[in-house]
Structures are given as C-alpha cells and as structure tokens.
C-alpha cells in the first residue's frame, strides 16, 4: 500500500489571531482560563529544523516511486572480488540501488563471513541501508551487527548476528525401551531454540532438554517400538 503524500500543515487565520490560542481546563472540563497563548522563551544552543508536511510528502513520494537499480557483480561498481571490503562496496554503491551477489570466503577474502559455505549477499542502499546474508546451505539469515552510522561500522572485521537460522532437520532413532537420545550437530548451541518432532503421534520430551554447544539430550517415556526423533534448530 502506498504511503500518503497529501499531508497538510495548519494554516493560522491571522485575521483573527496572530498566535495559537488555548483554553486552560480542569479535570472536569471546565474552562479555568481562556484565550491563552504560549511563548517559548528557552535559550537554545542550536535551533532544530521544522519537519513540514511538504517534507513528509516528498519523502513518502520518493519511497512510493523508488526504482532501485540492481547490481549483480562488483565489477559493475568498479571493484574487485579479491580486494573489496564492505566499506568500499557501500561507498561505491549509489543511493537508490542494491547489490545481489553470491559470495564465499575464498572468492571474497576481505569480506568477512559468519561461517564457511556459500551465501547470497544483499546490500540495499535506499532510504535505509541494509546488509543481509542468506545462507545457501541452511537457509539461515544473517544481518550485519551495527551501531551508529552503518557506513562507519561495516568493516572487514565487522560482526554478523543471526537474524533467524533454520537448520535442516537433524535427528536420530530412539530405540524401543530406551528413554534418552543424544543428537549432535554443529548448529546446536546454548543460545538456540528448538522444535521437536517424533514419528509417534503425541509423544514429546518429558523433561527440559539438556543443551551444550554441539549436542542436545532429550528424555522420553520408553516406547514399545523404535521412534524417529527430529530437531529443528533456530
């Protein structure tokens, strides 16, 4: 849905009043004093800008009609994959454009990635700047961890944070009569959240899982038949 671009400013009828006029009322709505005007007598070290309806309308019109130019290689920006950093890409990318490329650590050595493997890198430099990695292996999403000005903080040693990572299902088989199963995977860590699935309807872990970096231990009531247990890590 398009943003509104028809906001209007108040226009004071100066034929009647030269300033805004207010009534002072009590908690019951009774007028205590009428015809008051307010005067700001604050001493400012800096006077701020007025944000008028025309400025809002212009900004929203630019958003509604934005046509992002899309770049699909660093060479289009005059950069080399062997040497480019995030700072250089941001500086080279024009306002109102985006970059979408496939990256690996070996092919882009100066653009630090959160882990090994292939990613789709998306940088959007429009009314806001976003830098996102899409993990082609796990389907996870990473965003650049920033504070303050994004241009100042995106460096070759910048830090990525996991926005939301869904691993493929991992699991094993709980043998008939057994009550615990240990599932191991590098995606598991103490900061993860989990979804659990079993091949026997209605069976769930009976205690809180025990999680360490690299493994999760699940406790179940003993079953009469083998049961497949799967975990999805987020």
Tokens read off for 62: 């630019």
Q: In which residue ranges of the chain is pLDDT below 50?
A: 145-158
CA-closest candidate to residue 96, choices 75, 133, 134, 123: 123
pLDDT in tens, 178-234: 999 999 988 788 877 888 889 998 898 999 899 998 899 999 999 999 999 998 876
Model pTM? Answer: 0.43
Tokens read off for 42: 């604050």
Give Rg (Cα) of the chain.
Answer: 29
Residue ranges of domains in the chain: 22-64, 69-164, 170-233
- Predicted confidence at residue 146, as pLDDT, reads 42
CA-closest candidate to residue 171, choices 215, 225, 222: 215
Q: What is the separation, in whole angstroms, between the first and last Cα of the chain?
A: 31
Query: What phi, psi does 94 have (nearest 5°)?
Result: -65, 155
Range 153-182 burial, b when 16+ CB lie within 10 A, else e: ebeeebebebeebebeebbeebeeeeeebe
β pairing state of 119-125 and 129-135: antiparallel
Distance CA(234)–CA(221), nearest Å, equals 25
Distance CA(167)–CA(98), nearest Å, equals 27
Specify whether the CB–CB gap between 170 and 185 falls below 8 A: yes
Helix intervals (H) in the chain: 53-64, 86-92, 150-153
- Predicted confidence at residue 67, as pLDDT, reads 65
- Predicted confidence at residue 192, as pLDDT, reads 79
Q: How far is CA 98 from the centre of its chain?
A: 16
**Angle 149-155-160 from CA coordinates, rounded to 5°:** 85
- Predicted confidence at residue 148, as pLDDT, reads 34
Specify whether the CB–CB gap between 173 and 223 falls below 8 A: no
Q: How many helices (H) and strands (E) does the chain have?
A: 3, 14
- Predicted confidence at residue 161, as pLDDT, reads 56
Is 76 strand, coil or helix? helix
Distance CA(15)–CA(21), nearest Å, equals 13
């Amino acid at each position: 849905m398009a943003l509104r671009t028809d906001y209007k400013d108040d226009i004071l009828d100066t034929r009647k009043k030269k300033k805004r006029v207010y009534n002072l009322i009590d908690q019951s709505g009774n007028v205590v004093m009428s015809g008051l005007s307010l005067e700001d007598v604050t001493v400012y070290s800096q006077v701020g800008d007025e944000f008028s309806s025309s400025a809002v309308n212009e900004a929203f019109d630019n958003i509604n009609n934005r046509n992002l130019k899309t770049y699909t290689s660093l060479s289009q920006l005059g950069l080399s994959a062997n040497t480019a950093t995030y700072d250089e890409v941001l500086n080279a990318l024009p306002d109102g454009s985006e970059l979408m490329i496939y990256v690996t650590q070996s092919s882009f050595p100066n653009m630090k990635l959160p882990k090994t493997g292939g990613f789709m890198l998306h940088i959007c430099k429009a009314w806001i700047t976003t830098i996102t990695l899409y993990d082609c292996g796990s389907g996870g999403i990473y965003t650049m961890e920033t504070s303050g000005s994004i241009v100042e903080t995106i460096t070759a040693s910048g830090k990525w944070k996991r926005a939301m990572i869904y691993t493929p299902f991992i699991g094993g088989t709980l043998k008939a009569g057994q009550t615990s199963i240990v599932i191991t995977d590098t995606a598991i860590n103490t900061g993860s959240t989990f979804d659990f699935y079993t091949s026997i309807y209605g069976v769930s872990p009976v205690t809180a899982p025990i999680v360490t970096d690299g493994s999760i231990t699940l406790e179940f009531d003993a079953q009469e038949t083998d049961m497949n247990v799967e975990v999805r890590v987020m």
